[in-house]
Amino acid sequence: MAVTPLKLVETTKVAEDLNAWPLAVRGLTVSYGQKPAVFSVDASFAPGKMTAIIGPNGAGKSTLLKAALGVVKPLSGHVSVFGQSLDQQRHRVAYVPQRASIDWDFPTRVLDVVLMGLYRELGLLGWVRRAHRDRAMACLTRVGMQDFADRQIGQLSGGQQQRVFLARALAQDADLYLLDEPFAGVDAATELAIIAVLKELRDAGRTIVSVHHDLSTVADYFDRALLLNVRLVAEGPVDTVVTQDLLEQTYGGHLTMARIDPQTVAG
């Protein structure tokens, strides 16, 4: 019997253009031990837009950010920042970590924290000049914290601390801002101040990606949303993605639409 030779299928390599995305991850899996926290996520974050990452507790929202930034090491996957590796584009990325991860008794003043944002510019030994201080003060002013520059960081309220962290990110003058739950444990005034600054950045063409917890404000604050529960559920403009159906898929059906109905969360 004649053996049909195996036919080699012509495979064309689909050269996807990742240059278009400020941040794109492909096949990203992160695991703590044997349990994946994020599994095979493909996501692209649109330029000049504010995107919220939403999902239940333990869905891997923070982990996704941290893996994209190299803070935790992914098990597999590719991360592209403005089409290149993070190392090549690091100077264009600013990160606002979760407030909970900080020791607030650390001996540092508010202005010193903002000056940390200039680390890439100052390097190890660079002298902090008047111009650097002025820039740091300008960033504090943008978040309404200019009067607190000399305070030790622990003397601030939670909301004020978060604003200082935002000011530090602003000092970097980055093109891509990644925020990990910026509204966790902050007062309403701070929430509004932060969102105003973020919208300013967005309007100036910067890209914002933020882990977000509050479904009632997603539509007001963000342009796009990424629904995550270990796996990617959906990504797109908020009005098409934040729907009863998709949220139930993300949160496991325990969610009633009431939680995001604007009428029930008035005020």
Partner 1 sequence: MISLGYNAVLVAVGAGLLGIAAGVTGTFLFLRKRALVGDAIAHATLPGVGLAFLLMVLLGGDGRNLAGLLLGAGFSAAFGLYCVHLISTRTRLAEDTAIGAVLSVFFGFGVLLLTVIQNVPSGRQAGLDGLLLGATAGMLFADALLIAVGGAVALFASLALSRAMVLVAFDEGYARVAGLKVDWVDLATMGLVLLVTVVGLKVVGLILIVALLIIPAVAARFWTDRAGQVAVLAGAIGGASGVIGAIWSATVPDLPTGPIIVLVAFGIFAVSMLLAPRRGVLAAWLRHRQFQRQVHLRQGLLALGSGQPIYEQLTLRLLQRAGLVRADGVATPAGEQAVADAARDEARWALVRREKGLEAVAARAGIDPLDSLLTPDQVADLDRKIANGEVAAP
Among 69, 215, 247, 260, binds partner 1 (CB under 8 A): 69
| Token pair 């190392």 in the structure block, residue | 87
Q: Name which of 34, 39, 101 is nearest 67 in CA terms.
A: 39
Angle of the 158-171 helix axis to the 188-203 helix axis, nearest 10: 20
- Residue 123: which residues within 8 A CB-CB, separation 6 or more? none
Q: How far is the CB of 170 from partner 1 (least distance, A)?
A: 14
Q: Which region, judged by CB under 8 A, interacts with partner 1, from 10-18, 120-128, 211-219, 234-242?
A: 120-128
Cα–Cα distance, 173 to 120 (Å, whole number): 11
Q: CA–CA separation, 49 vs 199, rounded Å?
A: 9
Q: Scanning residues 94 to 113, which ones bind partner 1 (CB under 8 A)?
A: 95, 97, 101-103, 106-109, 112-113
Kindly state the tokens that stand for 169: 């990110």
Output the CA–CA distances (angstroms, integers) from residue 154 to 93, 147, 158, 175, in the order listed: 26, 15, 9, 29
User: Which of 143, 201 has the CB closer to partner 1?
Assistant: 143
Q: What is the DSSP letter of 213?
A: -
The site map against partner 1 for 171-210 (x = CB under 8 A) is: ------------------x---------------------
Residue of 9, 124, 204, 266 that binds partner 1 (CB under 8 A): 124
CB closer to partner 1 out of 104 and 259: 104
Task: Considering only residues 28 through 47, tell me which ones interact with partner 1, judged by CB under 8 A.
Answer: none
| Residue 125 within binding range of partner 1, rule CB under 8 A | yes
- Distance linking the first and last C-alpha atoms of the chain: 80
Question: Binder to partner 1 among 78, 120, 129, 259 (CB under 8 A)?
Answer: 120
* Distances, alpha carbon 87 to alpha carbons 68, 69, 70, 90, 144, in Å: 12, 10, 10, 5, 32
Q: Tell the smallest beta-carbon distance from residue 25 to partner 1 (Å).
A: 15
For the bound state, the minimum distance from the C-beta of residue 197 to partner 1, rounded and expressed in Å, comes to 15
Q: Contact residues for partner 1 (CB under 8 A)? A: 66, 69-71, 87, 90, 93, 95, 97, 101-103, 106-109, 112-113, 116, 119-120, 122, 124-125, 144, 147-148, 152, 157, 160, 168, 189
